[in-house]
């Protein structure tokens, strides 16, 4: 098995690698045949790859986000090595392979995140809010702690769904401490459920893509729906608590033009929007800063309108 | 009983009128007592009115949008006559009064609109769409044909909910005729249900105000919710039809900044947005044009960014 | 004669094809010589082509939008076949060639469109409006029924000028039926003339480009000018009808930022803007939807801010 | 005859004044009778006035922008004196009255402006441009040197049409001197004609209002029309010069959202837009600065987004 | 001495009150004499007041934001009592009066805030940052702990400058805890100095107004200047620390359109902008929420685009 | 020595050229090694160049904006010749080479510009303004007359800093002549100093790049700082003159969104913004127009939102 870094100058050489394949894009040649382009990732580097004879069998085998043993021929194109894939075979963890290098994980494990988020859940006193959170967390337990918070393959710029949720909970304590007019129960429940709809909006933790419901309805409406249906079954649909919780879900993007059909109109909704805004941006920033030397400039950072940041060269 | 037009120069005179009272606004005097200001409407003209001794009894009696026999003293203020209300007594249709002059009605009666909308409903072939429309229309039957399409007292600038729905259905036929790639069933079902959430967003056909759910969730999310809950009970939640219908509800305002959390992404959603946009604006325009002479200019028209229109002076 | 689809893997082969050449772009090599790049279209597929020895004789022969018998050498570039054109010879319908496959036509023939638009013209009762429409249609008769409605080669996203005009006339009837405060004569005349300026803004039905007047003045001002000059000759310059008609032309893009120097300020101008907006977008949408399978997603669609649409997978 | 300044505390007193009446606004009392409100100006101060018995005879007599001998009764309202007009009689210069105090004039007389603008006209070498300017100036000679450049009564914030034109011509010389790639003939011709349409857009130099054509078509399209018609008669319609001149008229507001249907796309059009922008703003600024002491702040200034300016307290 | 609440119906009565006078506005009557309008505040209620005979002696005595013993005559105007002030005499704390009721204070005393902010200052390890903060705090010590954070008299919507600074410091700890890539020293120093320029931008803690430098230069540039000058004297002008600190001051409004000449381009600048944004909005929100009952709606809140908030009716 | 124009078809040939190298961009190959891409300019044409073995020695030798004797191998890539640089040696004017062809100069020499700007400086009467301009011009004398006005290598679109300053001074005279309410001393001083901060924002006249201070603080704040520090030393910090001058520097970009923390609020600041806006755009326009034939269209022009201009084909 080769690593991508060994192929810098390689041309017209047949090689074998273990690659996670993603961003699979099926196009047509001018003659009307299908071919596929994709990104291969060996746990360290990425490489562009193409499949020219994209047989029906290959179409079934190839699933974006999965890891494969790949047979390919190298090619130099625009000063970069590319792969023309000749054959591929899926690799499974159940076959004894360690695939952990292919998936970027949050700083804390799923178990640890579950434990910590549970501690916040335990602090909710209001029984209606406690019940709805409990029911929905139970319903989606596995997904909630595995899902990412955004579409992307390996280096997503946002931490995973649960880590993002936990970060917001932690930050919220500083605000609740300073501003006693804000209802802690609504804040905790609202944070835990604010991005729940992403479990339906996204296809899963590997090779993450938007689902049809994700594209047509979006995670805000999907999460709102989850609360609506669960509260209907619990007989608490029209309670003050559920209406407030729904308002938080709807408004957490803060502005209409960011996809919230209502702007925050309660203190708790305003705070949760602030926390979501801050944490998503700082996580993306952290990701880039950690790749950059002190005294140097980062690459453009998407959630900051692609602005470039400078890393101060100051001793701590 | 006097009419408002008889009070032009009246001052410090005690008078009796039958008035619909609306836009009730309770404020505090500098001494901290409550007083109320409101608009009185006698079926033809409007007049400002105040209640200075706003007793608890009066507070219970006074409901915005209802009609009262009013005892008041006149007053000249800024070249206008005002009323200081001394006493009021509610008037009911059940007591034999004809109150029809107080409520602007659509050009067609509720019964006629029900009949005509039903004809479109009958043309829906797809059974899932037919079922969901049937269930929801039945659930909200009375409200659907009585509700207005917007907050306002007497001269609301939009036609009633059902008339607006019917107008869009009628206009849609011209488009379906010309563009055969658009699915008629989705269009009919989508139009009938697109503003259903207004029944929960607004308080009712008289003295219409936004409800708490209206303010915090809005008619788009409330209507989406109705479809969601009904389809859950019918066991058709995840069908292609319901997802498409939900997308239509969410996107019918056309742009994020107008409160749609998703922009139209199917042909039917695009068409319904166009029809809603055109019909709501043309209805407001009609309202003003009909009050204006040929060759003259209208008052500023809200849904056209308060632009002033000119009425062409051309023979038909 | 080869077809483009036969050249997928072809390299350094001399071939002959019949191609419509368009998007001709003359550039300079670093040595300062002219070369030309263009798109070739064989009635089914497109291919990029270059002329490296771009002699003066070739410059005279090559006209964007015309069809040629082409001698060329194939080349592989970035996984696509390109042509280096060696020689070309113009092909004319007058020589007995059937060139219909090179030009996308509206769904109805010029003759049929002329007949149908005439039926609307006949319904205009106001004599001034009838006269001005008659004079201008007569003046531009051939162009009016041949011109496209927008710059593009073969697959333009808008239907031709006359088809777009006819569609708007048909849709207008539904509105005139529902809203009796709108003047039918102004609407019919305004629709027929609203895009007349495109006949001067665009170079013609083949290899359509913007003219100098198109670039510096635009079709709105050019169409306004046509009405102005014709009404001057007819002695009807300052009539209410002509002022209203001019206002419709100026305002039909609906907003200043879309190039209308005045926003609609009469009912007829508002309606015509709505119809123009709807029909141009739905025609572009139709074009893409028809190329896409049910349950699948379209390419980005320009007049919808390049949004991607989904084709509902629902039986009719 | 009284002056307004003598009426500060006057109440219920019958007085006679000579006033220019403007901003006439006819409204209806609640009883449906017409009354009129307006502004009276005695050459120094302004005062609000009303006519309660607005007879048909008075309606004919009262023309906005004219000067009257007025009989009225004073009234205190909100700490200000108002007039209730009882009778009025028109005053004419032909009757020997000197009305100059009622009309703010530009710094230079019409004659002087005509002379100075003519000097620029004489410098135009290109014969087509010289001809079109000559014909149009001749056609509108009197209006051109009398009209204001904007709607307003007495203290308009822009200098008159001719003074604004002359200022731009003077400023243009500094630019032509520095930038020799700009065509002087086009610049001079373009400046002289750029606001010609205002002669049709506005009602005249006294009591200036927008005309119907002004409201529906605007001075940009009206000026463009003048050039179009004159060049048609002169047989120079399609010359390079006329197309360029028309482009200048269309684009002189600089951006689509300010009502130009085309943005400047020639050097001369860009320059004329700059000059128009600068001169209109500096003239408005001058007007306010001259009313303000050094070291003090002005009132909000409209063309600067109602910003407040500070007058530096620095010796010259 | 009367209180304002005792004057509700009072008319033409001579009264004596102790009032803080603010929002003093000197205007001219139509006769050209000066008069003054202002707001009086007795520690509980506000009342409008006027001085008609505004003598030079009174002009000298009357300073916005000071407290006076006032002699006045009452008047009813538009259902409100007004005062016509006849005489006034300044009251000083040095004369033994307790004026604390006239000034809204932050939740913590100046002394307590100085102590708490000092604790953060002590945690700065970097010697350059520690020095500059120390020098500037010492220079402005009294003002820094007394100044408000915004123009307004009594009920300002923002907490005082020091309280806002302290709140941000407290909130910053939660972020520094979660995001270890952010430099704590820069954050603490940046927060303490970010609004320092307000000490020059605003006139002082009483009757706060913008100064001339405030209007022409603004607190961002004024604070930047303070750092610039102090670091010049300390000989540390071009150090990495000072450049970073200046960047934080310049960018803390987050976007160009909010008056920052640079947008945040370091992690610390981004964080400080977030904290400033959140804290200023939540403080304004707290102010309104505390005046509103549970289940009720607030008045429009300025820093939230004048949106109305709802106070959830949920038990804590 | 070869010229670039001789290499059009050259491939795999070893050549020697004298090139100014700029836009140096160091990237990493997939194997992690550094390589450099850059632009070579021989005084007439430009060519892309790469250094694949980018040794530490080469890294030290290669400075963006310097001129080198270059050894390279040619390569054909995408129909263009590229260079792979094998070795390079710096060339200095001190070694007798004439490098003037590599640097585009303003139309006037530094000496001439110094003389002409000095004439304006001499016309300043106010002693404070004269002093501050004198001190700052002296401090930065050499840089001020050498620096460019913007980042770019050879064909910068703006004239040099001093030429731009001189042009604005010349244009200002026409305005001062017409508008006597504007203070000439403030205008002259403000123009001379308005872009002074660019001397710190940019790295120098050759291979111009943004400095760290340029990126984090910007030329507006840097220039403001220069005035602040000089006036502190001169003991004139808080004079009316210096506050006004600082306001001019801060506001000269005219709008917050263009990086001015304050918008113009004095007549002089407004005028200087207009002059800066006009001159920077017309200079960019001149640059493109001079490369374009009459009757033809330019390339997109950046400061005009990348619009394309037409060059009128009119005889002068």
Residue D159 pLDDT more than 60? no
pLDDT tens digit sequence for E19-35 = 989 888 887 775 667 88
Q: Which two tokens stand for residue E96?
A: 């033994």
Model confidence at A155, in pLDDT bands (50, 70, 90)?
Answer: very low
C177 and B170 within 8 Å at the Cβ level: the answer is yes
Q: How confident is the model at residue D155 (pLDDT cuts 50, 70, 90)?
A: very low
Paired tokens of E211: 């100064």
**Displacement of CA B154 from its chain's centroid (Å):** 9
Residue F74 backbone phi and psi in degrees, to 5: -85, 160
d(CA C314, CA A56) in angstroms, rounded, equals 26
CA distances from F239 to D130, D312, F245 (A): 53, 11, 10
- Chain A touches chain C, with at least 3 Cβ pairs below 8 Å, answer yes
% residues pLDDT > 90 (chain E): 59
The answer to whether residue B153 scores a pLDDT higher than 50 is no
Q: Measure Cα distances from F312 to A90, D123, F38, F239, F316 in Å.
A: 65, 19, 37, 50, 11
Strand partners, F207: none
pLDDT of residue B155: 38
Assess whether chains B and F touch, using the rule of 3 or more C-beta pairs within 8 angstroms. Answer: no
**F26 part of contact set with chain E, CB < 8 Å:** no
Mind listing the pLDDT tens digit for each residue in D120-152?
999 999 999 999 999 999 999 889 988 888 765
Question: d(Cα B211, Cα E176) in Å, to the nearest integer?
Answer: 42
Q: How high is the ipTM of this complex?
A: 0.82
- Candidates C276, F184, E297; CA nearest to D314 is F184
Q: What is the pLDDT of residues C35-57, one digit of tens each?
A: 899 989 887 788 999 998 888 88
When pLDDT is cut at 50, 70 and 90, the band that residue B156 belongs to is low
Indicate left, alpha or beta for B259 from its phi (over 0: left) and psi (-120 to 50: alpha). Answer: left
pLDDT of residue A158: 46
* Residues 123 through 182 of chain F touching chain C, CB cutoff 8 Å: none
What gap in Å lies between CA B40 and CA A15, rounded to an integer? 87
**pLDDT of C204:** 80
Whether pLDDT at A316 is above 90 = no
Position C152 confidence tier, pLDDT thresholds 50, 70, 90: low
Task: Answer whether residue F255 shows pLDDT above 90.
Answer: yes
From chain F, the residues in CB contact with D309 under 8 A are 265-267, 270
Contact A31 C5 (CB under 8 A): yes
Say what the pLDDT of residue C158 is: 47
* pLDDT over threshold 50, residue E109: yes
Contact F139, F230 (CB under 8 A): yes
Mean per-residue pLDDT for E228-233?
A: 95
The strand pairing partners of B248, in sequence order, are: none
F296 and C CB contact within 8 Å = no
Residue D98 φ/ψ, nearest 5 degrees: -95, 105
* C5/A32 Cβ within 8 A: yes
Task: Write down the pLDDT at residue C95.
Answer: 75
Percent of chain B with pLDDT over 90: 59
Alpha-carbon dihedral angle through residues F100, F104, F107, F111, given to the nearest 10 degrees: -50
- Measured at the CA of E299, the angle between CA E298 and CA E305, to 5 degrees, comes to 105
Contact between chain D and chain C (3 or more Cβ pairs less than 8 Å apart): yes
For tokens 């407030």, name the residue: A244
Predicted pLDDT of residue E180 = 93
Percentage of chain C modeled with pLDDT above 70: 95
C287 or A246, which is more confident:
A246
Q: Tell me whether residue A56 is exposed, middle or buried, using C-beta atoms within 10 angstroms of its C-beta: 0 to 12, 13 to 18, 19 or more.
A: exposed
Q: Which residues of D176-204 are buried (b: 16+ CB within 10 A; e: fewer)?
A: eebbeebbbbbbbbbbbbbbbbbbbbbbe
For the cut 80, the answer to whether the pLDDT of residue C249 exceeds it is yes
Note whether B81 contacts D: Cβ–Cβ < 8 A: yes
Q: Does any CB of chain C come closer than 8 Å to the CB of residue D231? A: no
Distance from B205 to chain D by nearest Cα, in Å?
27
* From B198-207, B261-270, C300-309, E127-136, the region with the lowest mean pLDDT: B198-207
Q: Measure A247 CA to nearest chain B CA, in Å.
A: 6
Residue B51's φ and ψ, nearest 5 degrees, are -120, 110
- Tell which residue, B260, B258, B231, B256, has the closest CA to residue B243: B231
Of C246, C250, C261, the CB nearest to D260: C261
Contact E220 F257 (CB under 8 A): no
Task: Identify which of F149, F154, F151, F146 has the alpha carbon closest to the alpha carbon of residue F19.
Answer: F154
HSE-up of residue E109 (Cα within 13 Å, Cβ side): 4
Q: Is B12 part of the contact surface with chain E (CB cutoff 8 Å)? A: no
Does A31 sit within 8 Å of C310, measured CB to CB?
no
Strand pairing class (E80-90; E46-51): parallel
What does the mean pLDDT of chain E come to?
Answer: 89
pLDDT at C236 over 60: yes
Partner-chain residue, chosen from A244, A265, A315, that has the shortest CB–CB distance to E308:
A265
pLDDT for the residue E153: 42
What is the CA angle E115-E116-E120, rounded to 5?
Answer: 115
pLDDT higher than 90, residue B152? no
Look at residue A78 in the predicted model and tell me its pLDDT. 65
Inter-chain CB proximity F215 and A310 less than 8 Å: yes
Q: Which of A230-244, C67-81, D154-168, D269-283 has the lowest mean pLDDT?
A: D154-168
Distance (Å, rounded) from C-alpha C185 to C-alpha C129? 7
Q: What is the mean pLDDT of residues C280-300?
A: 91
pLDDT band at F119 (very low <50, low <70, confident <90, very high): very high
Neighbours of E174 (CB within 10 A): 19
Say whether residue E265 is in contact with chain F using an 8 A CB cutoff.
Answer: yes
Looking at the DSSP bridge assignments, the partners of residue F75 are F82
Backbone angles phi, psi at B241, to 5 degrees: -65, -45
Which residues of B fall within a CB distance of 8 Å from C267?
282, 285, 289, 309, 311-312
* Low-confidence winner among B280-284, E145-149, F240-244 (lowest mean pLDDT): E145-149
Least confident interval from A185-194, B151-160, D100-109, D268-277: B151-160
Whole-angstrom CA distances from D280 to A131, F60, F187 are 66, 55, 19
Best residue in D197, D214, D217, D227 to probe C by mutation, most C CBs within 10 Å?
D217
Is C79's pLDDT higher than 80? no
For residue E4, pLDDT over 60 is answered with yes
Q: For residues F85-107, b (16+ Cβ closer than 10 Å) or e, as one string?
A: beebeebeeeeeeeeeebeeebe
Check CB contact under 8 Å for C126 and B285: no
pLDDT digits (tens, 9 = 90+) for F25-53: 888 775 667 888 898 988 778 899 999 88
Cβ separation B312–C244 shorter than 8 A = yes
Which residues lie across from F202 on neighbouring strands? F210
Q: Which helix (H) or strand (E) holds D265?
A: none
pLDDT digits (tens, 9 = 90+) for E110-128: 889 999 999 999 999 999 9
Strand, coil or helix: E73: strand
- Which residue from B265, B285, B310 is facing C308, i.e. has the nearest CB? B265
Q: Is the pLDDT of residue F234 over 90?
A: yes
| Cβ–Cβ under 8 Å, residues F237 and F255 | no
pLDDT at A34: 83
- Closest residue in A to F78 (Cα) is A78
Tell me what the pLDDT averaged over chain C comes to: 89
Q: Which residues of C touch F76 (CB under 8 A)?
A: none
CB B24 within 8 A of CB B62: yes
User: What mean pLDDT do residues D53-82 have?
Assistant: 85
Could you tell me where the beta strands, DSSP code E, fall in chain B? 14-28, 34-41, 46-51, 66-77, 80-90
Contact yes or no for F144/F196 (Cβ under 8 A): yes
pLDDT surpassing 50 at residue D1: yes
Measured CA to CA in angstroms, residue C123 lies from C129, C244, F102 at distances of 11, 18, 72
Question: Rounded CA gap, C184 and C176, in Å?
Answer: 7
CB A203 within 8 A of CB C301: no
Contact A241 E307 (CB under 8 A): no
- E8 closest CB neighbour out of B29, B212, B216: B29
**CB burial readout A173-184, b (16+ within 10 A) else e:** ebbeebbeebbb
Global confidence as pTM: 0.85
- What confidence tens digit (pLDDT) does each residue in B7-64 have? 877 888 999 999 989 888 887 775 667 888 898 988 778 899 999 888 888 888 888 8
Phi, psi of F286 (to 5 degrees): -55, -45
Percent of chain D with pLDDT over 90: 59
What is the distance between the alpha carbons of residues F225 and A256, in angstroms, rounded to a whole number?
Answer: 40
Whole-number average pLDDT of chain A: 89
CB F222 within 8 A of CB F210: no
3-state secondary structure chain A: CCCHHHHCCCCCCEEEEEEEEEEEEEEECCCCCEEEEEEEECCCCEEEEEECCCCHHHHHHCCCCEEEEEEEEEEEECCEEEEEEEEEEECCHHHCCCCHHHCCCCCCCHHHHHHHHHHHHHCCCCHHHHHHHHHHHHHCHHHHHHCCCCCCCCCCCCCCHHHHHHHHHHHHHHHHHHCCCCCHHHHHHHHHHCCCCHHHHECCCCCCCECHHHHHCHHHHHHHHHHHHHHHHHCCCCCHHHHHHHHHHHHCCCCHHHCCCCCCCCHHHHHHHHHHHHHHHHHHHHHHHCCCCCCCECCCEHHHCCECCECCCCCC
Residues in D closer than 8 angstroms to B79, CB to CB, are 29
pLDDT value at D94 more than 80: no
Instruction: Kindly tell me whether chain B and chain C come into contact, counting contact as 3+ Cβ pairs under 8 Å.
Output: yes
């Amino acid at each position: 098995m080769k690593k991508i870094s060994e192929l810098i100058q390689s041309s017209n050489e047949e090689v074998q690698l273990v690659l996670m394949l993603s961003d699979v894009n099926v196009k047509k040649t001018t003659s009307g045949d299908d071919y596929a382009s994709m990104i291969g990732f060996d746990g360290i580097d990425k490489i562009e790859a193409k499949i020219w004879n994209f047989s029906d069998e290959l179409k079934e085998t190839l699933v974006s986000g999965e890891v494969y043993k790949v047979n390919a021929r190298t090619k130099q194109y625009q000063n970069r090595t590319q792969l023309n894939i000749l054959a591929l075979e899926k690799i499974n963890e159940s076959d004894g392979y360690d695939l952990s290098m292919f998936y970027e994980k949050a700083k804390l494990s799923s178990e640890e995140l579950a434990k910590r988020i549970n501690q916040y859940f335990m602090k909710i006193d209001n029984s209606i809010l406690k019940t709805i959170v409990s029911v929905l967390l139970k319903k989606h337990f596995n997904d909630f702690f595995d899902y990412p918070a955004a579409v992307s393959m390996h280096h997503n710029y946002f931490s995973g769904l649960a880590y993002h949720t936990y970060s917001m909970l932690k930050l919220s304590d500083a605000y609740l401490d300073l501003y006693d007019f804000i209802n802690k129960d609504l804040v905790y429940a609202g944070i835990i459920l604010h991005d729940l709809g992403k479990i339906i909006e996204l296809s899963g933790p590997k090779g993450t893509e938007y689902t049809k419901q994700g594209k047509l309805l979006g995670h805000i409406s999907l999460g709102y729906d989850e609360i609506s249906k669960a509260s209907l079954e619990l007989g608490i649909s029209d309670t003050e608590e559920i209406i407030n919780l729904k308002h938080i879900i709807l408004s957490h993007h803060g502005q209409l033009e960011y996809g919230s059909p209502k702007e925050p109109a309660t203190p708790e909704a305003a705070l949760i929007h602030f926390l979501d805004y801050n944490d998503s941006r700082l996580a993306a920033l952290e990701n880039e800063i950690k790749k950059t030397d002190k005294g140097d400039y980062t690459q453009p950072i998407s959630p900051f309108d692609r602005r470039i940041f400078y890393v101060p060269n100051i001793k701590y």
